[in-house]
Amino acid sequence: MSNVKIMAILTARPGKTAQLRELLDRMVGASRVEPGNLRYDLWVDQGNPDCFVLDELYADSEAVTAHRASPHFQGYLATINDLAERTALTLDALSVF
């Protein structure tokens, strides 16, 4: 088994930055306590305060599956497209310390 990293880039739709930030803040707290979650950090672009990055790390693909099945992730999915444009990458490590 190997760790799985997810990087999600979310850019708020016009007038939705505060709502997006609230949603992402709720996701951080709920996701960090999941079994198999090793990291769940929220970043903001220094040059664009409407652009956020979620930096997620899971113990394995089963932890990712559990995260995606969680009530808080399902709530996120139900609202995220109204609040932001998003790109998510699911990554395997090649050369990581």
Distance CA 55, CA 40 (A): 6
**pTM of the prediction?**
0.92
Q: What is the pLDDT of residues 31-88, one digit of tens each?
A: 999 999 999 999 999 999 999 999 999 999 999 999 999 999 999 999 999 999 999 9
Rg of the chain, C-alpha, whole Å: 13
Residue 1 has pLDDT above 90, yes or no: no
Residue 96 has pLDDT above 90, yes or no: no
Q: Which two tokens stand for residue 77?
A: 């999915």
CA distances to 35, 47, 56 from 5, rounded to whole Å, are 15, 24, 6
Res. 92 pLDDT band, cuts 50 70 90:
confident
